Each structure stands twice: as structure tokens, then as C-alpha cells.
A and B are shown apart, each in its own frame.
Chain A
Amino acid sequence: MSSVNQYVVFKLNDESYGIPINYVETIEKLIEITRVPNAPYYIRGVINLRGEVIPVVDLNKRFELEPINISDETRIIVLSFDEINVGILVDSCSEVVTLDSSKIDQAYDLITSFEDDYIQGISTLNERMIIIVDIPKLLKSNINE
């Protein structure tokens, strides 16, 4: 089975990640994030997106990477899944790529680290490696906690 899908590609620590475009609501420039006390460690805070309060996840913390460097390129990607709206904080985000699903190697063949829970697979595009994030898993795992 092979089908062609579009993915939004963003960068974290010079690594490229892809998320299926149908989960992406909007991509916003960095705006003021209000800290939420007593929230899970990876919650950066909440933002006001046109009157709606939306939590923002710090993916660097979620994936246990180096802390994020805030720059002009920093973006908040607002995802929507199952009536849940969540923003993720990323280093930069500037392209949409088309990937063949048959070219995505499933994660369970590849790695067994803490990360693989949220990683659906890895794909290569013009010598570049793109890590495909499993959005439902990433978002749902929090609700159960």
C-alpha cells in the first residue's frame, strides 16, 4: 500500500521532523507565553490565539533534547486533534514536503529509545532524514497521565 501525503517539516536541534499536514491548524510567530504553575514539566505555558487559550508544549523537553534557543525563527505550530488544540514550540518551520508512505521506515524497526513512543517512522528526502512524529500518540499520552 502506498500513498502520497504532505508533511509540515520543522526543526529541533538541527534535526528535521515531519507532521502530517492535516493535524496542523496554523503556524504562528512566537508570541507571549504565560507560564502555568504546577503544570507538567514539558508545558511551556499558554498563549492567547485570537481569543482562545491554547497550551504550548516544549518539544525539546518532551523529547529530552537541549533547551530551545529562542530566535526570530522560533515558531509555534498549533495542532488540532480530536477537538484538542495544542501548540508546539519549534526552532523553525518553513516547508511542506510530499512523502510517499512506502518510503517511511517504521520506527519499531529502527530505534528503541525513549523517543520512539512518539515517532511513527523515518523517511529520507534528497539525502535528508525526516523524523515523522505520531501526533495522536504525542497528544493522547498526556491526557492519560
Chain B
Amino acid sequence: MDMNQYIEIFIEESKEHLQNMNSKLLYLEDNPDDISTLNEIFRVAHTLKGMSATMGFNNTSHLTHEMENVLDHIRNGNMNATTEIVDVLFECFDKLENYINNIETEGTEGEDSASELIKKLASLKNADEDSTKGEALKKSENSIDDKFENSTIKFNEYVSNMITTALKDGLKVPLIKITLDDSCMLKSARAYIIISTLEKFSDIIQSSPSIEEIEDENFGSYFELVLVTKHDKEFLQKELDGISEVKSIEIDLLSNEDINVVTENSDIKKNDTVAKVHNDKKQENEQQKNKPKESKEVQAKKPKISKTVRVDIDRLDNLMNLVSELIIIKTRLEDTDSNNERQDTGEAIEYLERITTNLHDAVMKVRMVPIERVFNRFPRMVRDLSKELGKDINLIMSGEETEVDRTVIDEIGDPLIHLIRNSIDHGIEEIDKRIENGKSKTGTVKLSAYPDGNNVVIEVEDDGSGIDIEKVKNKAIANGVITSKDTQLMDDKEVIQLLFSPGFSTADKISDISGRGVGLDVVKTKIESLGGIVEADTSLGKGTKFVIRLPLTLAIIQALLVVVGSEKYAIPLNSIKEITTVKKTDIRKVQKNEVVLYRGSTLPILRLSEILKASETNNDNDEDEVVVIVKKGDKDAGLIIDKLIGQQEIVIKSLGKYLGSIPSISGATVLGNGSIALIVDTNSFF
């Protein structure tokens, strides 16, 4: 069956389950005795197991199965959820996340079968078993174990139930191990003879490898069968002895205890199976190498994963209502056209405008996702980091319900990870130092999000050592970013902004976590590509706060349409501070740059027609220039334009992959008359 059509749903749901598992594991760590949390984790693991097995992702299902075993053990009170166990469970979680990510990007879960982890899980459980169960039991286990030595067979719940019932009914359940003669030519035919002989007087309930595989000759010369029969061992032996080309036959009658052992033993045995799976895969790989054409085809078939958004059904209903209203107003407009009544048209258009505004809002809301989806992964990260660094850190999150555009969700994760790592590694001091400075032992990192007008603000705040302004200055001079002369002219804010320049790091030692100086400039670039800004605020000894400001939506914005030369351009409204006129004579040249004295401070002036290489216009007669003052952070610049058209809502369209990024242009929009206006990227002017 072709599973490709389900893969998107699989990935989406798996991610959701994993997210759930993550938060529950964190909770379990703090409350190891909470059975309901344990049950929840168990359920999630079980669901994942089922889903991945259906999709044929065996590594994932194996691993979740092992997790289930351990969890079940804890649940039954056989052992406690110690830190050690939770750590291993977290490792499993990471592995699972890896698998899912691999499936998303490459279509397969990867080669790694996680045998190490599975061993770890099994040993956790066994170690516990050994300590709880007595010596005597162990001995008896060993004796039973002999029966299953080298056995690859394992029972699922269904089969073991069947065996129990059969035994209750006084039937016999023999396990038969058959090795065929090495010289045997038609192994599957020989095996078939054996199976059909047995089927005459018994039911085969389990085989290893499976019957299908045996029929396909997909086995060495050894296979195992489990039967339910009323005949005894000797009878079976006699029946099978009559078949030639069989090297050896071993028959063991199973009892109730055996089943338990086999089901439990399967945990350990599975390591072998997993290893086998691994080998099989290798073989497959080699086969693929031999047939390069085929493998290429497989690659081409790789499913294309599209981005999805889960939408509240109410929001969709709302959309549907608006669309139906739109249809009504369309018919009404058609009617008024035929009647030619002006009054009605005006009214209808007003109505239409209201609907489109609502429709826009509704569509925007569909694209909105709570930022929780990004925040969710941080508690875990902070936990790991604080363990690694030996710092005591408390993460306080607020405003997780704040909604942002789906595109932002995908992009904002990495910058935030950078900032939080920075805070924990550089910001928060070592425990001794904190006590020395009279701070509480536990460092605090605050992560908060809130909407602010048309923006979303995300803050990362720590109560650590803060940034040493002098140190930054010295470092910047040493790195040749600025001269010592410059530093005298710079205020603290400007100095801090230096942190965001490429290759800048104040850390004295480079650690695993941060300090290589590739962090903050990457953060800045990323945020700016999303149309946002990032600022830092610090006070030495008290802490640092990074503030990220992002536009609420990326697809539709308010913009000011202007004329430059003979062309129309759009300037995003959120980057505009004000619009004014400046007398031509007031513009002065300072070292090739034009500036104007405006409201008591100097304002750099840029001519948009020069930047955009537009044709000159002849408005030399005018005394005034129209200047649009744009801002970025707390820097301003004045753009000289030729004419203002007005404010308009525009839909942002990308210029397409072919053009890539064009300097000073961030995109395009289609105007009402069908022509295109380019959107000016004012951020690039600073």
C-alpha cells in the first residue's frame, strides 16, 4: 500500500505527540511519583509505536516499544522513575525526534537503529529485575532460558494468550527448531513439506521467520515453529523423522512460565533482531548500489512535505460565512449595475469593503499559531544546559498563547535558542559567584511574548552579570571594528549594538555552548529577514534583556505608496516615523553625505531616486523636497521622494527564486490596476 499520502499526517501528529511527551517527561522528572503523568507518557509512546509500525518505520516502533516496557515497569511499581531513568527516556525522546525529522527531510528514518539505547533500556529494566527477584528465580530462569537459547521467536500478546488458553484446555504447545541440511536445494519446498506435515495434526500459531518469508526462501537453513496440538513430543518426532534433507529437529514443550519468559526475553533477543535488521538494511543498500537507476527512482519518489497549519474549526466556519456574504454582495452589485442606481452601488461597495477587511482578518487568523510551539522546547533545553554547566537555573515563560504567523514560528526558533544559550552561558554566573554577589543561588531566565500594536514582542531576560560596556569597547577596538576615537562618541546603546556585528564575542573562553562569536549577528540577520528588529538592554551586575520585535503578519501590510522618477514604490508603514517637507536649501553636505537639521538633531538624507537608479524628474522649481523619515531601532533617515500617493493595504509577493535577493528591494505587490509596485527595504539603508 502506498503510504506516501499519509506521511504528512503522520509527521504532523508525531510531532504533536513528541511535544506532549517532552513536557510530560519534564513534569515527571520533578514529580517522579505521579502515576497519571506516567500513564500519559505511556499512552503517547504507545500511540507513536502504533503509528510508526503502520507506516513501516521499524526503528521508531522498536524504540517506542522498549520505552513502553520500561514505563510499564515503573507503572507497575517495579521500579522508580529515577533521574537516571528519566535521562535515558529523554535520550529516547531525542532519538525519536531525530527519526521524525529524518522522515520529514529525507523520507526515511535513517540507518541508526538505536540499538545502544535499546540495550540501555533493557539493562535498566533487567538491573532492576535482578535486584528485586531472588537468586532461586534467576536460576530457574536460566534453565528455561536454555530452551530459548539462540531462539529468535517471540510472542505478542495475542499469541501468548492463545498458548495460555491451549494449555488450559490440556493441549500441548511444542516449540520446534528445525535445521535443514546444508546440501538442501529447495529449502522453501522442504520447509513447506515440514509445515504441511505438521498442519495435518496441529495448528501452527507462530513461526520465525514468518511463513511468508519461509515461502520466499528468505531464511538461512534454520527456522522455528510453535504449534498447538494434542499429540505428544514423540509422535511429532516420528512424523518429522520421515522427511529427508533435515539436519536436526529439536522439540520442546512449552509451559505457562515459558511464555512469560519468552515475552520478556524478547527484549534482549530483540537486540539481535535489530542488529539483523541493520544488516538487512546494509544488504539492501548494496543492492541499491548495484542498481543505481532504481535508487534514483526511489529518491525521485521522495514525498514532498508541505507546511501545514492546524486550524480551529470555528475559524474556518467564520471564513465560510464571510465568503458566502461575499457572494451575496457580488449578486447585489450585479443587480445594481442593471438598475443603474448610484446610491445602491456606493452602499454595496461600502459593504464589500467591510467584508474584505473581515475576510483578511479571518485568513490572517488561520495562519496564526500560538508561539507555545516554539517555547515548548526550551524547558528541556534549559534543563540540559543547567545540568551541563552546573548552574541552577529557573526558566520563567509567559505569554505562550501569543499568536504569530506560521512563517515566523518556523524561523524564530534558532535565534531564540541562541539568545537563551547566551543568557545561560555568559549571563548567569556560577553558583559561587552569585552567592558572593549577594544574589539568590538560582539564576532566572525570563522568556516572554506579548502583542504590541501591530508587532509581537519577544523578550529574553536574565538576572546574570550583564554586559560589560568597557569590555565590549576594548574588544571592538582590538578587533578593528571601531577606533578608540569612535568609542568616545558612542553612547551605551550604540556600543551594545556592536555585539550584533559579525565575529564579535566577549567571552574569554570559548565553550561548547557559545562564545564563538557567530551567534548574535546570525540572530540579527534572521530577525531582520523576518522584518523585525532586535535590541539589547543591559545593566552591569544586574542582567541583560534582549528584545525582539516582529511584525504580526508577513503577508499583508500597510504601506505608503510613493512616486520615484516615473515609477511607483511601496514603503512599509511600520518602518515610517513621519512624513515632512524640507527646504532644498536646508540640506547640507557633510563629507559627501547629505544631512538636514531636523527638530534639533541631524538627520541623514538619502535620495531614493539614486538608490533605485530611477530616472530624474524635473521638479527643480519646487522649493521643498518631500521627505519620508524611516526608522530602524532608534536610528532615523530621511528618504527624498518625488510624490506621495497615499496609504494602502498591500499583499506582499516575493520576487521569486530566480531573482533571489535584490539589494534595497524586499518584494513586490500588485496594485489595484494590475501593475506592480516594488517594496522598498528600508532596513538595508542603515
Contact = CB atoms under 8 A, between A and B. Distances in A.
Nearest to B660: A143
Contact of B668 (A43, A46, A139): A46
A53 B664 contact: no
A139 B658 contact: yes
B658 A143 contact: yes
15 contacts: A34-B668, A34-B676, A36-B659, A36-B662, A37-B613, A38-B613, A39-B662, A46-B668, A48-B675, A52-B653, A54-B656, A83-B657, A84-B657, A142-B658, A143-B658
Interface string A81-115: 00111100000000000000000000000000000
Contacts of B660: 143
A139 B676 CA distance: 23
Contacts of B674: 32, 48
Given A51-B670, A53-B656, A55-B655, A34 B662 contact: no
Interface of B: 567, 611-614, 653-660, 662-665, 668, 670, 674-678
Contact of A47 (B612, B614, B664, B676): B676
Interface string A117-131: 000000000000000
Contacts of B664: 37-38
A53 B614 contact: no
A47 B655 CA distance: 10
A83 B306 CA distance: 14
A52 to B, nearest CB: 7
B657 A39 contact: no
A35 interface: yes
Contacts of A32: 674-676
Given A32-B675, A46-B676, A53-B668, A38 B658 contact: no
Interface string A39-68: 100010011100111110000000000000
A57 to B, nearest CB: 8
A59 to B, nearest CB: 14
The 3 A-B pairs with the shortest beta carbon distances in the complex, nearest first, are: A37-B612, A34-B676, A53-B653
Residue from B614, B657, B677 whose CB has the most chain A CB atoms within 10 Å:
B657
A37 B659 CA distance: 12
Contacts of A143: 657-658, 660
B104 to A, nearest CB: 19
Contacts, number: 69
A36 B567 CA distance: 10
Contacts of B675: 32, 34, 48
Contacts of B614: 37
A38 B662 contact: yes
Contacts of A38: 612-613, 662-665
Contact of B665 (A37, A54, A142): A37
B659 A43 contact: yes
Contacts of A139: 658
Contacts of B567: 34-35
Given A34-B678, A36-B662, A36-B678, A53 B657 contact: no
Nearest to B659: A55
Residue from B659, B664, B678 whose CB has the most chain A CB atoms within 10 Å:
B659
A53 B659 CA distance: 11
Contact of B655 (A35, A36, A48, A51): A36
B684 to A, nearest CB: 10
Nearest to B654: A53
A74 to B, nearest CB: 18
A14 to B, nearest CB: 28
A20 to B, nearest CB: 18
A43 B668 CA distance: 15
A118 to B, nearest CB: 15
Nearest to A32: B675
A84 B665 contact: no
Nearest to A82: B657
Contacts of A43: 659
Given A37-B612, A48-B670, A48-B674, A85 B656 contact: yes
Contacts of B659: 36, 39, 43, 46, 55
Given A34-B678, A54-B656, 16 more contacts: A32-B674, A32-B676, A34-B676, A36-B678, A38-B613, A38-B663, A38-B665, A46-B659, A46-B668, A48-B670, A48-B676, A53-B653, A55-B658, A55-B659, A84-B658, A86-B658
Contacts of B612: 37-38
A39 B200 CA distance: 81
A53 B654 CA distance: 7
Contacts of B656: 53-55, 84-86
Nearest to A43: B659
A84 B664 CA distance: 22
Contacts of B663: 38
Contacts of B677: 34
B677 to A, nearest CB: 8
Nearest to A87: B658
Nearest to A81: B658
Nearest to B653: A53
Contacts of A83: 657
